[in-house]
Amino acid sequence: MDCGPIPRTLYPDMILSTATPSPALRRLPQAAAGALTLALGLVLLVALLGRGMFFLAHIGGPMEGDPEPLGADARDPVGHHRVGTWEGPRGFGEAPELRALAESGKIPPVEARLPRDPLVIHPPERNGPYGGSWNRFGTGPDDISAMTGMMYEVLLRRSPMMDDLLPNLARDWRVEENGKRFVFELREGVRWSDGEPFDSGDLMFWYEHVLKNPELTPAPHRAFVRDGELMKMRAPGKHTIEFSFSRPHGLFLYWLAEHFTSVMLQYPAHYFRQFHPEFAGEEELHRRTTRAGFDAWYQYFEDRAEWRNPERPALTAWVITRPPPARRILFERNPYYWKVDSKGNQLPYIDRKTYRISDREAINLHFLGGEMGVERRHVLLRNYPLLKEYRERGDYRIHHWITEPGSSAIMPNLNHRDPVMREIISDRRFRLALSHAIDREEIRDAVYLGLGRPRQITPAFTSPLYEEADAVAHTGHDPARAERLLDEMGLNQRNEEGVRLRPDGRPLSLTIEMFPLLGDIEALNLVADHWKQVGLDADVRQFARSLYYTRMSARLHDVGVSSISQLLTPLLDHRFFIPYHATAPRHALEYASWFLSEGERGERPPAAMRRAIKLYREIQNTTDTEEQTRLGKKIQRINTENFWTFGLIGDLPGLVLVKNSFRNVPDEAVLYHNVGLTAPECYAIEE
């Protein structure tokens, strides 16, 4: 069956859909905040001067009623794609430009380019059409490097709502020996973008010559290590790969679905052997390394592995053809991409992706003009009123997706270097007082346009670990209770300015420390004001990033912060519940050192935290998902009871701008690795 090119059928004009937002997103404020007015006014002023096409209406003015619906009311709400394996005859469709190349003999026919069992993406809205350019914007190469994460190709993928694991380059898998061995069957006949075969040998090259090479991988990710021992890998067959551990690794499948594990699929052996001393001649490799401007072979090797190298073969839907320093960076369709739609048409539908380098102010003007395709990065919540105002003129719609970042998490330093502050902060009553002193409703209205809701740091509502009682615990604004708790602690003496005194007679001061982008300074300034109202001398200080971490490593900070407002992968990212990382648990760095060193360094955590650590180790030792959920909820309950960290506003929407000509973009999904969970390879453009 030769499906041929997909016909271009026109959809009706698109306006806002009738899809219903989640309850947490249904209220907009009666008035935008003054700070927002100033920020948006500056953007608008630039627009007026630069283009002469915008007006001053409604900026900072009333925004009454519920949020606008999300998608387009000329069609049914768009859901999520589904996946399967092709079981029909080997007759496939392809993009017209690839058909022309195949007919001229420049590439093989589509049947020869696709694997024996291509992955099938069932688009949520329609098949095709082919063609078009997906325009995106970035502030520089590093920014664009982060955006390329949406090309999310790993052995297993997460579903759009992160509630399931889906096959990808692995068509099947099994877990053996109670989670000590994992066996994956790879798709047969997958090819790199240069046409060379992909098989288990490429994965073994990564394992033997990249992961196990200390110059290329000084510290393997903890996903690949159990009890200090690196996993073992072997290839029983050309299309079979096996991972094994000395102890059960109950979370390994979840780790494999994380974007960073795509690293094991980024080293085609046939290409990288020429840059590795175990394969290339030492003298020749040294000459090539020096000629390329590097001092050591591993620097040259890593440079060749960079996303910006157009010579590196890839497995992604689009491959780079015009790298930096070009101002317009170009990715074009991979002719050997190994996925098809439900009719057998080879993906991706969109011909190319372009990334334009610009500054943030100009990027926002491009958004207002509707020059993007589908965009999340640099779409700021504070610009929401302006984006709503010009969506018809820019011919785009605004989707509310689920995201992890939000307002700042508050992390009082339990391991403070000052023994008096340490004793105060370690008292649960003090942390409860800090939480109840905060007027979260004021923060929501003043900083977040009335969106979101008061919320603690817990798993996202999409997670099976979510518990509403934990999410809302101690979020009520109750300054009288806060005052009582502080008085009960003996902090009832004040100086002439009304500031409470520490047991040593000094004013009780709290500094919230941050660096730019780590937290929302407007929200944190309000938190400091609320703490002042119950007698604390509180302020917010921004440090240079290096100084921030220097102070933190010396345990000098009073209160650390994080930009996370909920956890999408609570079993993997448990920084607020288990002190598992050297810098992430800013409230418990000495306890983290103890945990990471198996008690050889740092300080032994309190009994409750040790119970949480013990439960987490039990999670790591089981592959039973129901048992993992049960244990994870117990850890969350311990944290709610002890209240080591707390949140401000959560369930804030992640704004996604979608050009009205784009199809197969769901109305709602989880923003994780940009828009990668939603199979962008099946996005299509209707001219």
The 3-state secondary structure of 545-588 reads HHHHHHHHHCCCCCEEEEEECCECCCCCCCCCCCCCCCCCCCCC
pLDDT tens readout for residues 552-584: 889 999 999 998 888 999 999 888 889 888 888
Res 244 pLDDT > 50: yes
Return the pLDDT at 22. Answer: 33
Instruction: Give residue 55's pLDDT.
Output: 25
Q: Residue 146: its pLDDT value, please? A: 81
Beta carbons of 19 and 666 less than 8 angstroms apart = no
Model confidence at 38: pLDDT above 50: no
612 pLDDT higher than 60: yes
pLDDT score at 314: 97
CA dihedral 414, 415, 419, 423 (to 10 degrees): 20
Please report where in the chains the tokens 């701008």 appear, as a residue: 657
Q: Identify the pLDDT of residue 406.
A: 80
**Alpha-carbon span 678 to 405, nearest angstrom:** 19
Say what the pLDDT of residue 457 is: 93
pLDDT digits (tens, 9 = 90+) for 386-429: 999 999 999 999 999 999 888 889 999 999 999 999 999 999 99
pLDDT over 60 (residue 675): yes
Angle (CA) 565 568 574, round 5°: 80
Query: Does 72 have pLDDT greater than 70?
Result: no
The pair of three-digit structure tokens given for residue 395, joined into one six-digit string: 């011919």
Q: Is 66 or 288 the better-scoring residue by pLDDT? A: 288
> What confidence category does residue 495 fall into, taking pLDDT thresholds of 50, 70 and 90?
very high
pLDDT of residue 106: 97
Average pLDDT over residues 257-265: 94
In the structure, what pLDDT confidence band is assigned to residue 322 with cuts at 50, 70 and 90? very high
Residue 296's pLDDT is 96
**What is the H or E stretch that residue 320 is in?**
strand 318-322
Q: By CB neighbour count within 10 A (0-12 exposed, 13-18 middle, 19+ buried), where does 35 fall?
A: middle
* Confidence band of 177 (pLDDT split at 50, 70, 90): very high
pLDDT at 229 over 50: yes
What's the whole-number average pLDDT of the chain? Answer: 88
pLDDT for position 75: 52
Cα separations (Å) of 57 from 16, 60, 615? 20, 9, 55
Given a cut of 60, whether residue 27 has pLDDT beyond it is no
Q: For residue 367, what pLDDT is reported?
A: 95
Q: Which amino acid is at 282?
A: E
What structural domains and CATH numbers belong to the chain? 1-135+324-397+660-687 (no CATH), 152-315 (3.90.76.10), 405-650 (3.10.105.10)
Percent of the chain with pLDDT over 90: 78
381 or 35, which is more confident? Answer: 381
Nearest to 175 by CA among 184, 187, 163, 188: 184
Structure confidence by residue, pLDDT tens digits, 347-367: 999 999 999 999 988 999 999
Neighbours of 455 (CB within 10 A): 26
pLDDT greater than 60 at residue 155: yes
pLDDT at 150: 83
Rounded Cα distance, 149 and 676, in Å: 7
Please name which of 183, 264, 180 lies closest in space to residue 227, comparing C-alpha atoms.
Answer: 180
Examine the pLDDT at 1 and tell me if it is beyond 50.
no
